[in-house]
Amino acid sequence: MDQKQILKQMIDFNKATFDNTFNAMVMLQEQAERAANTLMEQATWLPEDGKKAINEWVKAYKKGREDFKKVVDENFQKVESFFSGAK
């Protein structure tokens, strides 16, 4: 088998592994967010500023997660185009 084909298969495998792991992480984080929202709704002792801070924190990690995924996808695309253009 051609070395380029082997490398392309390795990259495809790594991308699929990353995507599956990332999606599992997203599901876990969303479940934790739902649990935190339920807890905040029931926590009458938590001040509004505290709830606002937690919501801002959730928005920040969602944005960081989306930015990370975007960068990884762009770089996988660059590598794939490199190997497809090297034929």
Q: Which of 71, 80, 79, 65 is nearest to 22 (CA)?
A: 65
pLDDT over 80 (residue 86): no
Residue whose token pair is 């695309």: 77
Query: Using the 8-state DSSP alphabet, how is residue 62 labeled?
Result: H
The overall average pLDDT reported for the chain is: 91
CA angle 47, 48, 54 (to 5 degrees): 95
- Give the pLDDT confidence of 17-36 residue by residue, as tens digits: 999 999 999 999 999 999 98
pTM for the model stands at 0.81
Residues contacting 18, CB < 8 A, separation 6+: 72, 76
